[in-house]
Amino acid sequence: MDQIVLKAQTLIEALPYIQKFNNKKVVVKYGGSAMLDENLQSNVIKDVALLKLVGMKPIIVHGGGKEITKWLERLGHKSVFVEGLRVTDEITMEIVEMVLGKVNKSLVQMVERLGVKAVGISGKDGNTLKVEKRYVNGKDIGYVGNIKEVNTDLINTLIDNDFVPVIAPIGLDENFVNYNINADDVACAVATAIGAEKLVFLTDIEGVYADPEDKNSLISVLTLEKADELIAGGFVGGGMLPKLKNCVDAVRNGVSRVHILDGRMPHCLLLEFFTNRGIGTAIIHKESLFENEILEF
């Protein structure tokens, strides 16, 4: 009986969040280890399906870097990275598109299996992601694109017709040449363009730390001002630095809240969306603080 009552209390706790985010667009950037473990995959997709079924409008943007690296190795093609971006020659671009297409349709299949309609697209479809060639410190790294514009027509058409869009990070330049795009950049650009209420990054860490060496210094709620301080003070490094900068840019450009979550935690999306405490780190404008939230940093 105690367990039944606890379940009821959990549902009651979720009710105001279900009401608050009903009919709101939320973007989930799916990547990292959560894509490689079948149980974690299942949990993430179940979470997204539940978000849809309780009235939200989820959009999935996925990566596939580890799977791409695996296939390149199988074909004897070495992966080279410059500042976290994969150097993408013609052969690599072909493999990137092949692998991302495979991942994309697999995710669609998993969503559909749960009784939720989904459609897989890339930025090429409907000319959704318009890009230009990206350089790193003047260095040409091949077919890697910067997003110039997001055409939301196809995404909104899918949402309006009750589908979950599942987006692979490939775009076209003005000459209709394929480009590989960083999936974090795609998630931010899409969230901003469609006016998403929430943007969630599923990562391989718990969130943002005030002190990267102290695992007890996880920051639950991070304002833009404090995020700027962390970045300027050199407290954030490695792969988290560009991710946090993306989060800050997304909030400044109109996304209400951006969350960095540990995708290895089962049902992390539900815990963040529907519980008072939540998990991970939320990046917000200070005035967007919920009544139950406390600034700890």
Dihedral of CA 35/245/87/147: which sign? positive
Tokens of 224: 């833009």
* Whether pLDDT at 278 is above 80: no
Question: pLDDT tens-digit profile of 237-255?
Answer: 767 788 888 889 999 988 9
Tokens of 266: 């089962």
- Is there a contact between 110 and 41 (Cβ–Cβ < 8 Å)? yes
Between 12 and 167, whose confidence is greater? Answer: 167
Q: Say what the pLDDT of residue 14 is.
A: 77
* Whether pLDDT at 105 is above 60: yes
Q: Say what the pLDDT of residue 277 is.
A: 64
Tokens of 234: 């050199």
Q: Say what the pLDDT of residue 206 is.
A: 85
Q: Say what the pLDDT of residue 151 is.
A: 97
Q: Say what the pLDDT of residue 110 is.
A: 95
How many CA within 13 A on the CB side of residue 95?
A: 22
DSSP characters over 6-55 = HHHHHHHHHHHHHHHTTT-EEEEEE-GGGGT-HHHHHHHHHHHHHHHHTT
Question: pLDDT tens-digit profile of 52-97?
Answer: 999 999 999 999 988 999 999 998 998 999 988 899 999 999 999 9
If you average pLDDT over residues 113-131, what whole number do you get? 97
Q: Pairing state of beta strands 178-180 and 170-172?
A: antiparallel
- Is there a contact between 256 and 287 (Cβ–Cβ < 8 Å)? no
DSSP characters over 91-105 = HHHHHHHHHHHHHHH
The rounded distance, in Å, linking the Cα atoms of 80 and 88 is 8
- Beta bridge mates, 130: 149, 172
Query: pTM for the whole thing?
Result: 0.90
